[in-house]
Structure 1
């Protein structure tokens, strides 16, 4: 028996289950470009004092040497997660020689792709594989789109929470099977309602014209008086076709109805040949241009606004970890960097995501056909490009609804979830933030994307100057703050240890790189 949302809320409100409700665990991965004071990319490699990008637990690089990624440990306190992120960024500021962290998702002024250096991870086979993968991304899509920064929000419910849901359902299967099934139900609801995330939090309606260069597009950009390109009603150009585009991926039919079909779909995708990528070549004149010529080089190349996850063991592929031990948490990937927050994500955003994701876990979630998935993606496409357009209509189960109409229905139910979370945590924070986000649904001018367009178009602010002003403000703010959960000595030691760990990996390699890759893909 699967309960309704109200039945779950009523049952979970009982004293015996409240502790389970408050056991949410979170982690944040924040990407940020290193820039110099005039707003151009740093030309410096990843700093030695920041540690090894291959092995440091909290500080690494994403696509480029200049694209830092900060990773917080798993925590059951949203406040602690923000404090950890502040500490990690403070340490980074202390070790990048006055450089700034670009506070926007869309990159700063970049003249050409060759100005963007690929991330380097040392001479080990696994390190070289990471760099060759990025070389493949460059040859497939260009480097510019790879330095778009985002926020990944990792989220999991406690085992006690899932036991309570299983008890309410009267389900007698083993717990992990039940948990995996329910995470996929959550994911389906998330995909149905994912348009709400860029509407509320999208912060990339504007870009520097250098981003486009010769990139083909059909978007009706306007140009501000200060020379920047924008779409009047856009919310998140990062999530549009200007961002991660892979026409071959659009034909993939990854199924989110259960763990088995999802893993089978991913495995099929990473073995599917691509004629276009085959033209690039794999190893040419002794140099790798990509890891292989398939639609996906590895699973990480599958671009999705949400992913089911399981911490993988050494040498284990993500899909193998899922297949063997089930879903452990989800990774929300539809978040722009918040330019109005020093950490790129605010505590208030995290609280609303708690409400939104909990709703997705408890609301009815029928299985999803390929046609339904396309419909959800079409809603998302509309919102990222036209989300603040007053008469925009979205498709909700074949009913056309405006964002205020559909949002009004959703927020009535979100508020009930917020009340449950407030009761569990002994606060009113969740209801406060839910009311604040609902105000954006009723008035689009309150959204961050609208505020940015107003600043640049109506107030004629220079976008680069605006970003650099925020970046300088955040640097001064975080440099002045004391450490809260970490300290400088601990982070310094973590950096030193990461270099030792990288060296050990390099010394323990027994295969040449060609053989290593052959074994990896054979497995």
Structure 2
């Protein structure tokens, strides 16, 4: 059986005077969505000018593909405001993409061969070219199909006013920055250890299209079953996006990134971005004068590393992400394992964000000792098991080498989160965090309530392929957003951001810069002050 915390454990760690300081942590969301035609093909049109410049707009940008929108909210203390901002972004985008749709699922549909997936363009500036070449390299390394799998990132930071008195309470002798960094790394280790629960509750990709299977060429494709002529699935899967046919990368399993400390994390990622890999050397750095990739290393840059949770520190101009972490520690964590929920118009609900906030705090205060390679392998094994067959009643997860029931473990974790939810609910008679927790406990007791199970039952009941289902939802939600009035002041603000971003893009494109070869050389070989910004 999993270890059960004693009653009142949280209250003994954090006294009553500190608990109110945990309310109002900052929440932000990054949501990816492909622009598709009404027939379900990936858009071949450039990023719409009416949405601004992808390189310089703070809230509307692109990820891997020119057609893969990324909508970014600010970090706000009220989760309802975060969702409201994301909803407004959807309204604005849908009003400015003509007859196109926003794909309502994580897994792409339609023609997914490389020529059908245009790589994102960011203009002629050095920074714009670097972002484009990085994506070109991803295409050569993993195939473009993998790169247009969409997800939702949930960003969370604990209120700053909590840290000083909490450090005093725990009698940590170091600096405040070292204390917060140490605490966040412990939180991340627990979020990884118990991250299988996120896949179970919020996985929304139990099936994929035949075109995805044909394009992915995964060694694990044979493990999927045929649902109909154009759909493949796993009966108990929750998130194929997070399985071996999704974001899992066998090359990255060849090196280990430790999360036992921030120094370990920085050391291991820095090593992975500086050691050549033979297969990538065979691709070559250039074909003639054209760059194929930024370099031939295991990772071109840090962001190529796929992980379910990342420590984050906003970068300053001309600062690399690892340098930002080294200089100023961790400001927030980024949870990356969330699928786009097919049954939510913006892909995520406010109840989900409340659960994630409570879960993150729970993982902060839970014991978080460093883990060795064996524990790391156990964490990965549990995550893959739940992604592939999380709703299987016979599934057993590993806890320190011993098998345990997913249902029992999940319910125990949720029961222990109740104290956290009580604190976050303080002063609110509706108890929204407790309600969010109760809802997920029902989903644990009744797997048929998961989004993944609902998708498969809808497909069976309505005789729909996976393409039919997600296209139906995409049409429904895009129509909904097109017909929702955007507040006039919000529209004025968004219009201003569009114009500002276009002006900034023009300025970057016309500025006098050093040759790109020298820019790239400076970026990778300057000592602490590496030049360039990327995402």
Band of TM-score, shorter chain:
over 0.9
Map of 2:154 onto structure 1: 153
| 1:28 paired residue number | 29
1:356-388, CA deviations, whole angstroms, 9 ceiling, x for partnerless residues? 101001111111112211110110011101111
Cα distance in 2 between the residues matched to 1:5 and 1:313 = 44
- Contact 2:410-2:444 at 8 Å conserved across structures: yes
Classify the secondary structure of the residue corresponding to 2:70. strand
Aligned position for 1:61: 62
* Aligned-residue offset at 1:258: 1.1
Structure-to-structure mapping, 1:189-268, within 5 angstroms: 189-213=190-214, 215-218=217-220, 219-225=222-228, 227-268=230-271
Q: 1:299·1:318 contact (CA, 8 Å) conserved in 2? A: yes
Within-5 A mapping of 1:66-465: 66-213=67-214, 215-218=217-220, 219-225=222-228, 227-423=230-426, 427-465=430-468
Cα distance change on mapping 1:475 and 1:138 into 2, 3 Å? same
Deviates more, 1:356-365 or 1:497-506: 497-506
Q: Distance in 2 between matches of 1:446 and 1:397?
A: 29
Cα displacement (A) at 1:482: 3.0
Contact 1:13 1:420 in 2 (8 A): no
Q: Which segments of 5 or more consecutive residues in structure 2 lack a partner in the other structure?
A: 527-535
Contact 1:4 1:363 in 2 (8 A): no
Counterpart of 2:47 in structure 1 is 46
Structure 1 residue 234: deviation in Å?
Answer: 0.6
- CA 1:465–1:248: 2 relative to 1, 3 Å: closer
Question: Within 2, Cα distance between the matches of 1:405 and 1:8?
Answer: 21
> How many angstroms does 1:121 deviate by?
0.1
Secondary structure at 1:70 match in 2: strand
Aligned counterparts of 1:206 and 1:509: Cα–Cα separation in 2: 49
In the TM superposition, residue 485 of structure 1 has moved relative to its aligned partner by: 9.6
Pick from 8, 11, 30: which aligns with 1:9?
11
Shift of 1:469: 2.0
Q: Distance in 2 between matches of 1:194 and 1:517?
A: 36
Partner of 2:529 in structure 1?
A: none
What is the number of equivalent residue pairs in this alignment?
520
**Would you say the 8 A contact 1:28–1:71 is kept in 2?**
yes
Report if the CA contact (8 A) 1:13-1:423 is conserved: no
Q: Which moved more, 1:297-306 or 1:468-477?
A: 468-477
* Contact 1:90/1:479 (8 A) holds in 2: yes
Partner of 1:273: helix, strand, or coil? coil
- Hey, what's the Cα distance between the residues in 2 that align with 1:66 and 1:27? 23
1:433-484 deviation line (CA, Å, top 9, x unaligned): 1111011111211111011111223542232222222122212322232335
* Equivalent-residue separation in structure 2 for 1:484 and 1:158 (angstroms): 30
Return closer, same or farther for 1:424/1:18 CA change in 2, 3 Å cut-off.
farther
TM-aligned CA distance change 1:268 to 1:383, over 3 Å: same
Alpha-carbon distance in 2 for matches of 1:110, 1:9: 54
**1:170 CA displacement:** 2.3
Deviates more, 1:165-174 or 1:497-506: 165-174
- The offset of 1:220, in angstroms, is 2.2
The answer to whether the 8 A contact 2:309-2:334 is kept is yes
1 CA distance for matches of 2:129 and 2:93? 25
Aligned partners of 2:24 and 2:78 also within 8 Å = no
Aligned-partner SS, 2:30: strand
Post-superposition CA distance 1:83-124 (Å, at most 9, x none): 100111111111110211000000011151111000000000
Per-residue Cα deviation, 1:384-407 (whole angstroms, up to 9, x for no partner):
011111110100122211111111
- Asked if structure 2 preserves the Cα contact closer than 8 Å seen for 1:308 and 1:331, the reply is yes
C-alpha deviations, 1:114-152, integer Å up to 9, x for none?
A: 110000000000000000001000111110010000001
Q: 3-state DSSP class of the match of 1:435? A: helix
Report the more deviating stretch, 478-487 or 406-415.
Answer: 478-487
The question of whether the paired residues in 2 share the 8 Å contact of 1:4 and 1:364 is answered with no
Residue 253 of structure 1: how far off its partner (Å): 1.4
Alignment CA distance shift 1:477-1:440 (3 Å): same
Residues of 1 paired with 2:342 and 2:165: CA distance? Answer: 38
Separation in 1 of the partners of 2:44 and 2:52? 18
Distance in structure 1 (CA, Å) of the matches to 2:461 and 2:394:
22
Distance 1:425 1:173, change over 3 A: farther
Deviation at 1:426, TM superposition (A): 5.8
Contact 2:10/2:420, CA 8 A, preserved across alignment: no
The structural deviation recorded for 1:21 is 1.2
Contact between 1:226 and 1:460, CA under 8 Å: does it hold in 2? no
Task: Provide the rounded CA distance (Å) in 2 between the counterparts of 1:173 and 1:6.
Answer: 28
Q: Tell me the TM-score normalized by structure 1.
A: 0.96
Q: Provide the rounded CA distance (Å) in 2 between the counterparts of 1:232 and 1:61.
A: 33
Tell me, which stretches of 5 or more residues in structure 1 are unaligned?
A: none
RMSD of Structure 2 on Structure 1 (CA): 1.7
Query: Matched residues in 2 for 1:332 and 1:485: separation?
Result: 33
Once the two structures are TM-superposed, the CA of residue 17 in structure 1 deviates from its matched residue by 2.6
